[in-house]
RNA sequence: CGGGAUGUGGCUCAGUCUGGUUAGAGCGCAGCGUUCGGGACGCUGAGGCCGAGUGUUCGAAUCACUCCAUCCCGACCA
């Protein structure tokens, strides 16, 4: 492809509305343009990267035995009413009515449609298992789209759905997808990590997320240095010995603490460590007030709390509600003497000690020498706090680290959730009707591009891994007016294209500096520079975009010289991916 | 939905507080010339209902009110 005939509108400056590096670079490299909040057009270069991502995903899905289909973007509301999600999915589901006043929505995911499809077709165990997938545009009316391609309202997703006749089959299907995902992200040259995850609103029994490791990631994960344990922070369990405290505690007493609202203020005022204070958080769970207690220096994990409660929705109580429940100003809530709070949940850690400081439920007062077992009515002790890097691994007791990641894939074991709700049955070997066991498996095909750039960039621009690069090689013709140089550049370009290498030939009438800058910006992993100076000496210059390392290739024996050089670049990428994965996940290496 | 910020040529911004000729700069774009191995320089030129509406005023990009859009933080989420 000749640059002069292509369309790559690069920008020297990043748009003002771009915050994260992938967003800035995608726009600057002329890959995407924003239409409006959360909606982006893909320009030719961006589409090429997107297609590379999609192709790898398709190849590995096919290899894993999944079958590609395409389902409609627009879905009837009736199907969603049948599954119960019309009510439960929330505002993220964009609904509308057609001219006949019938309910419709734009598909944020396709469990309903695929279940409907399969239930009408598959009637016998002989037809199972089956795994159907599509690569398609999804729409989710995100509360707050942000970070460019990272969190859009409209995005390209690969979603697959497996149907099995029994539990072992369902587990095999899940495993097949897990393995396929590991291959996909490995092939893309990305450093990633599968982690245990919360299954969230989609529901189901267990799930793994595939996280691309990047410091700018939205999620934090907990990874053990010594064993295979890896989990999303919102899921990671905190180890607890289960031993209750046996020390005795002096009688509880109220102490005046004027104007001390935060844990730190109270701790400082009373001369104790924040870890000796009980933090009392008042929540409203599906309309009912509940209290959560964690140590003063800990964070309540809302996902754990919500799952423990089995609530559909929980939110921190409004200040006015706090005043009503405690009978005191905000900042003085405590477990003893709450009004109208029937259930009080305490983190396990609070069982292991006594003699606490807590709010007195009276303005400007706290209590000390609080013994939760003696003085308070705790409904249950449970794992409620967020794990920290100081906690031991919940599996092996080893040391944890908490790197950040970007979720690019998610595999769920759904079980019977949809097949029961939507009556997807088959006849088993004994002629008995049974529900199909489902799994669903998503990959953010467009998000992969953003995640890839977050992970692979430098101050000059994008550094695409070879498998995702829109063009693997860019050939810079530094002197388009020089016939010998132009002929050589064209010859190299044609040679590479004939080999099936996606090659971009920069034949523009621009100064060399512009070409160098643009080549770095758009991130082709391999750059070949054809210029008068080099050619006089019989060399083509080659630059490894990732390392910046420059080599000279013999122009007379280009094919061989290029092959050798390219092999070195590829080897460097492989070592790099392995090293970085090892660095983040410690000595274990490997993605699993 | 709560908190904060911003809307001025295609892009990045100045001008707004302290209202007053034809609204500026850099980049980009078009033409000409000089340049030509890491985002060149000179000259010429095109391009703007200053987010929208209402008001205050002799006079509004500038002040007031309303609305809209975008971005950031939070709640929420593959």
The residue that minimises its CA distance to C1' of B73 is A144
Report which of residues 400-419 in chain A place their beta carbon less than 7 angstroms from any atom of strand B: 407, 410
Each residue's pLDDT tens digit, A395-413: 899 999 999 899 999 998 8
Q: Which of residues 216-235 of A touch strand B (CB under 7 A)?
A: 218
Mean pLDDT computed over every residue of chain A = 90
Q: Could you tell me the distance in Å between the CA of residue A407 and the C1' of nucleotide B25?
A: 43
CB of A209 within 7 Å of some strand B atom: yes
Residues 71-110 of A with CB under 7 A from strand B: 90, 92
Q: Which nucleotides of B are covered by protein (CB under 7 A)?
A: 1, 11-13, 26-28, 35-40, 69-78
Instruction: Give the whole-angstrom CA distance, residue A568 versus residue A573.
Output: 9
Burial (CB count within 10 angstroms: exposed 0-12, middle 13-18, buried 19+), residue A481: exposed
Which of A81-85, A154-158, A168-172 has the least mean pLDDT? A81-85
> What secondary structure letter does DSSP report for A13?
S
Q: Which two tokens stand for residue A505?
A: 């030939």
- Same fold yes or no, A17-237+402-454 and A471-579: no
C1'-nearest nucleotide to the CA of A37? B70
A17-237+402-454: CATH topology is: BirA Bifunctional Protein; domain 2 (3.30.930)
Tens-place pLDDT, residues A351-375: 888 999 999 998 888 999 999 888 9
Q: Which of residues 525-564 of A touch strand B (CB under 7 A)?
A: 529, 531-535, 541, 543
Average pLDDT of A63-80?
96
The superfamily CATH assigns to domain A253-382 is YbaK/aminoacyl-tRNA synthetase-associated domain (3.90.960.10)
**What is residue A447's predicted lDDT score, i.e. its pLDDT?**
94
User: What ipTM does the predicted assembly reach?
Assistant: 0.93
Domain A471-579 - what CATH class?
Answer: alpha beta
Query: What are A475-530's pLDDT values in tens digits?
Result: 999 999 999 999 999 999 999 999 999 999 999 999 999 999 999 999 999 999 99
Distance CA A539, CA A530 (A): 8
Work out the average pLDDT over A225-229. Answer: 88
Total residue length of chain A: 592
Residue A552: pLDDT above 70?
Answer: yes
> Residues 108-167, chain A: which have Cβ under 7 A from strand B?
138, 140, 142-147, 151-152, 155, 157
8 Å CB contact between A211 and A451: no
CA–C1' A143–B1 (A): 9
Is A114 a residue whose pLDDT tops 80? Answer: yes
Assess whether pLDDT exceeds 60 at residue A18: yes
Among the listed residues A376, A415, A209, A177, the one whose alpha carbon sits nearest the alpha carbon of residue A293: A376
pLDDT beyond 70 at A592: no
Residues of chain A (235-294) having a beta carbon less than 7 angstroms from strand B: none
Q: Assign A7 to helix, strand or coil.
A: coil
Q: Which residues contact A568 (CB under 8 A, 6 or more apart)?
A: A544
> Does the reported pTM lie above 0.95?
no
CB A65: neighbour CB atoms within 10 A?
Answer: 14
Q: CA A17 → C1' B45, Å?
A: 31
Q: CA–C1' distance A48–B8 (Å)? A: 36
Q: Where are the domains of chain A?
A: 17-237+402-454, 253-382, 471-579
> Which residue has its C-alpha nearest to nucleotide B75's C1'?
A315
Strand B contact with A438 (CB < 7 A): no
Q: By 3-state DSSP, what share of chain A in percent is helix, strand and coil, each rounded to 5?
A: 35, 30, 35
Q: Is the CB of A516 under 7 A from strand B?
A: yes
């Amino acid at each position: 492809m000749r640059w002069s005939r292509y369309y790559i509108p690069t920008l020297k400056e990043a748009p003002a509305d771009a915050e994260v590096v992938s967003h800035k670079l995608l726009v600057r490299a002329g890959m995407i343009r924003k239409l409006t909040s959360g909606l982006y057009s893909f320009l030719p270069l961006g589409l090429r990267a997107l297609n590379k991502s999609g192709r790898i995903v398709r190849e590995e899905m096919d290899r894993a035995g999944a079958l590609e289909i395409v389902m409609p973007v627009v879905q009837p509301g009736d199907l969603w009413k049948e599954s119960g999600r019309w009510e439960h999915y929330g505002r993220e589901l964009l609904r509308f009515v057609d001219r006949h006043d019938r309910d419709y929505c734009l598909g944020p995911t396709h469990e309903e449609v695929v279940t409907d499809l399969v239930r009408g077709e598959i009637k016998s165990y002989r037809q199972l298992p089956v795994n159907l997938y599509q690569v398609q545009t999804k729409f989710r009316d995100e509360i707050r789209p942000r970070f460019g391609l990272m969190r859009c309202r409209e995005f390209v997703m690969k979603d697959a759905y497996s149907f099995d006749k029994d539990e072992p089959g369902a587990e095999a299907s899940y495993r097949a997808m897990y393995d396929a995902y590991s291959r996909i992200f490995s092939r893309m040259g990305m450093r990633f990590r599968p982690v245990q995850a919360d299954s969230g609103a989609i529901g189901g029994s267990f799930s793994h997320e595939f996280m691309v490791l990047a410091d700018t990631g939205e999620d934090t994960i907990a990874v053990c240095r010594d064993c295979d344990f890896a989990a999303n922070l919102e899921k990671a369990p905190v180890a607890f010995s289960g031993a209750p405290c046996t020390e005795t505690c002096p009688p509880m007493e109220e102490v005046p603490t004027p104007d001390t609202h935060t844990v730190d203020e109270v701790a400082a005022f009373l001369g104790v460590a924040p870890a000796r204070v009980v933090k009392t958080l008042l929540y409203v769970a599906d309309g009912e007030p509940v209290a959560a207690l964690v140590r003063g220096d800990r964070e309540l994990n809302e996902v754990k709390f919500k799952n423990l409660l089995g609530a559909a929705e929980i939110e921190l109580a409004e200040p006015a509600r706090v005043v009503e429940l405690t009978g005191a100003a905000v900042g003085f809530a405590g477990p003893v003497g709450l009004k109208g709070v029937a259930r009080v949940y305490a983190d396990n850690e609070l069982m292991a000690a006594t003699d606490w400081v807590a709010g007195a439920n009276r303005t400007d007062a706290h209590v000390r020498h609080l013994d939760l077992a003696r003085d308070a009515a705790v409904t249950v002790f449970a794992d409620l706090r967020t794990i920290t890097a100081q906690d031991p691994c919940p599996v092996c007791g080893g040391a944890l680290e908490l790197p950040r990641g970007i979720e690019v894939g998610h595999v769920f074991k759904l079980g019977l959730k949809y097949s029961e709700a939507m009556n997807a049955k088959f006849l088993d070997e004994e002629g008995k009707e049974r529900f199909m066991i489902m799994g669903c498996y998503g990959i953010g095909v467009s998000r992969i591009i953003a995640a890839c750039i977050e992970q692979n960039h430098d101050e000059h621009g994008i550094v695409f891994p070879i498998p995702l690069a829109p063009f693997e090689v860019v050939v810079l013709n530094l002197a388009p007016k020089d016939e010998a140089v132009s002929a050589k550049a064209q010859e190299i370009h044609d040679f590479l294209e004939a080999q099936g290498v996606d090659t971009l030939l920069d034949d523009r009438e621009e100064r060399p500096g512009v070409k160098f800058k643009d080549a770095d910006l758009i991130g082709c992993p391999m750059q070949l520079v054809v210029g008068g100076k080099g050619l006089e000496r019989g060399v083509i210059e080659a630059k490894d975009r990732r390392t910046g390392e420059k080599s000279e290739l013999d122009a007379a024996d280009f094919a061989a010289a290029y092959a050798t050089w390219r092999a070195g670049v590829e080897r460097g990428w492989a070592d790099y991916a392995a090293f970085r994965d090892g660095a983040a996940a410690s000595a274990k290496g490997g993605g699993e």
